[in-house]
Amino acid sequence: MPIIVAFIAGLLMSAGIAYSQMIDPNKVLGFLTLNANWDPSLILVMAAALAVYSSGYWLVIGKGKPVFAQSFSLPNKKELDKPLIIGALVFGAGWGLVGYCPGPALAAISSGSYGTLAFIAAMAAGWYISLQLTK
Amino acid sequence: MENFTPVEALIGGAMIGLGALILLVFYGRIAGISGIARSALFTRDGRSWRLAFLAGIVAGPILLGAILTDFSYSTPQLSWQVIVAGLLVGAGTGWGSGCTSGHGICGVSRLSPRSVTATVLFMLSGMLVATLLH
């Protein structure tokens, strides 16, 4: 499979994260911190991403199959279970603490910043813990 | 709202949506960055496209820095908060099966009740913690 397409998909996403400044945790904290200097930029990032993705999604879904795969691999779980709710709350707490979610942190890896690298290492440890606990 | 950057936000957001859409159209996959990175680290199957995607994630800001002359961004100082936050973000996105990209963009676009719920919860939780601390 031409994995160059997956590379381009990642490249576009992180270039978007960087161009919108969401790569900068202070920018994200400007949205998450509700005060007189509140910065709503993140809402417009989400809105534009949702507009592009949802129009494409509803155009292609149910019509044929992906270019490189036999079928769409989409989650079909419906129930709101405890791991989902606790996980989202725990993730949000970490996000609000420093202003990093997984995409921007990984996108900033080339900065070589010790803070960014430590965050990524701790995040990988968190992923490992979550896998052990859900086994 | 002196820090509001609507034009960059809209252009950047559209790029994020387009990148995620490419992964859907070509691979039939959800562009959840946490799920892709976690699986690339801890699962053998399907590692090659995931690693290529992650290489793209790393390359994006490098490319942007080469094109734009005034591109820069801040990074956090090494501290115990960074470690704790990383653990919470990793464990939370692992348990909750997704982050801002997988739930917030792909899942909400698909009108998945789980993703809409997760997105509302991590937004509220993030705002609560950030507003109390900063």
Express each pLDDT in A13-70 by its tens digit: 999 999 999 999 999 999 999 999 999 999 999 999 999 999 999 999 988 899 999 9
How close does chain B come to A109, measured CA to CA in Å?
7
Of A54, A105, A127, the CB nearest to B94: A127
Q: By CA distance, what is A31's nearest residue in B?
A: B127
Rounded to whole angstroms, the Cα distance separating B40 from B34 reads 10
Domain limits for position A67: 4-134
How confident is the model at residue B2, as a pLDDT?
Answer: 80
Interface size, chain A vs chain B, as Cβ–Cβ contacts under 8 Å: 487
How confident is the model at residue A62, as a pLDDT?
Answer: 81
Of A1, A48, A123, the CB nearest to B89: A123
Q: Which value does ipTM take for this structure?
A: 0.97
Overall average pLDDT of the B8-27 stretch: 98
Give chain B positions within 8 Å (CB) of A128: 41-42, 90
pLDDT in tens, A75-132: 989 999 999 999 999 999 999 999 999 999 999 999 999 999 999 999 999 999 999 9
pLDDT in tens, B66-104: 999 999 999 999 999 999 999 999 999 999 999 999 999
pLDDT at B42 over 80: yes
How close does chain B come to A63, measured CA to CA in Å?
11
pLDDT in tens, B112-130: 999 999 999 999 999 999 9
Of A49, A72, A108, the CB nearest to B28: A72
Q: What is the pTM of this model?
A: 0.97
CB contact under 8 A, A19 and B11: yes
Give Cβ neighbours of residue B76 (< 8 Å, ≥ 6 apart). A25, A98, A99, A100, A113, A115, A116, A119, B82
How confident is the model at residue A63, as a pLDDT?
Answer: 83
Give chain A positions within 8 Å (CB) of B119: 88
Of A13, A37, A111, the CB nearest to B75: A111
Does residue B67 belong to the interface with chain A, where contact is any CB pair within 8 Å? no
In total, how many domains does chain A have? 1
How many C-alpha atoms does A9 have within 13 Å on its Cβ side?
28
- At residue B1 the predicted structure's pLDDT band, cuts being 50, 70 and 90, is confident
Does residue B47 belong to the interface with chain A, where contact is any CB pair within 8 Å? no
How close does chain A come to B10, measured CA to CA in Å?
5
Overall average pLDDT of the B45-71 stretch: 96
CB contact under 8 A, A122 and B19: no
How confident is the model at residue A64, as a pLDDT?
Answer: 85
- At residue A1 the predicted structure's pLDDT band, cuts being 50, 70 and 90, is low
Of A46, A83, A85, the CB nearest to B13: A46
If we measure between CA atoms, which residue out of A40, A36, A11 comes closest to residue A27? A40
How confident is the model at residue A135, as a pLDDT?
Answer: 64
Proportion of chain A above pLDDT 70, given as a percent: 99
Rounded to whole angstroms, the Cα distance separating A39 from B92 reads 25
Q: What are the start-end ranges of the H helices in B29-76? A: 33-42, 47-67
CB contact under 8 A, A19 and B8: yes
- Tokens (6 digits) for B26: 């070509």
